[in-house]
Each structure stands twice: as structure tokens, then as C-alpha cells.
């Protein structure tokens, strides 16, 4: 994939057979964080809401979802069927995305981001 300047362009340059999956992932993130800012950062879709929220990237055999620590570690039991280490979860391309779980992870990160915000 060549360097995209928008998330729409990133998805549009992906192979046809994974575009629907990428759109589903994007939609799940946006549903969990409707006020999130979306852009391309480090060559991949990035979401910010009260701080870093999530990134995702298409790879040859999986889609990587990157959520700042410690969210992945806190949900290891639910992620036992996926390769999940540090801030990374790998979702195989040959399996349906766990959209409800993805939304749960994003909401957990939102909660942590809001807890870090200074109080007035």
C-alpha cells in the first residue's frame, strides 16, 4: 500500500477483499468514540480522544490494532484467541473481527485517557 493522506484513502488502497473488514473496524472505533479525531499518523489510521486512543494497520495476514498500554494486558482473558502483547492485538484476516470486543477496548482506553486529564 502506498502512503495515504486520509483514512478513506488508506482503506481504498487496501486489497478489495479486506476493505469491508477495514471499514467495519473503523466504524467500530468511531462508534465507541464518536468524538475522536481521525487522521493518518505513522502511515496508518490514528484516533485521538483526550489523548492517544488507537491505531490500526493492515498487514499480510492480519490487521494490527494498537491501543496504548495497559488496556491489552487488562483484557488478556478476552483476547486469549488472538496474538495480544503490549499495545498490540493481531486479528487474522481469515476470521471475523470481534467488533464488540474492539469497542470495549477502545472505551477502556477512553476511560484511562479521561482519568489522566487535569481537573479544573
Give the tens place of pLDDT for each residue, 48-82.
999 999 999 999 999 999 999 999 999 999 999 99
- φ/ψ of residue 44, rounded to 5: -140, 160
Domain boundaries, the chain: 7-112
The answer on pLDDT for 1 being more than 70 is: no
Q: What is the CATH number of domain 7-112?
A: 3.90.1150.200
Give the tens place of pLDDT for each residue, 18-34.
999 999 999 999 999 99
Q: Which residue has the cell 475522536?
A: 36
Distance (Å) of CA 111 to CA 9, 32, 99: 30, 11, 18
pLDDT recorded at residue 2:
62
Residue 43 CA to residue 95 CA, distance in Å, equals: 24
Copy the grid coordinates of residue 100: 464488540
Output the pTM of the full model: 0.93
Amino acid at each position: 500500500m502506498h502512503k495515504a493522506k486520509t483514512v478513506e484513502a488508506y482503506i481504498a488502497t487496501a486489497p478489495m477483499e479486506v476493505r469491508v473488514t477495514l471499514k467495519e473496524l473503523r466504524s467500530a472505533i468511531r462508534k465507541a468514540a464518536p468524538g475522536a479525531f481521525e487522521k493518518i499518523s505513522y502511515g496508518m489510521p490514528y484516533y485521538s480522544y483526550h489523548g492517544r486512543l488507537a491505531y490500526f494497520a493492515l498487514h499480510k495476514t492480519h490487521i494490527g490494532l494498537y491501543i496504548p498500554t495497559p488496556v491489552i494486558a487488562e483484557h488478556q482473558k478476552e483476547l486469549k484467541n488472538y496474538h495480544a502483547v503490549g499495545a498490540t492485538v493481531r486479528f487474522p484476516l481469515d476470521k471475523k473481527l470481534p467488533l464488540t470486543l474492539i469497542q470495549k477496548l477502545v472505551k477502556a482506553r477512553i476511560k484511562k485517557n479521561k482519568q489522566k486529564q487535569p481537573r479544573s
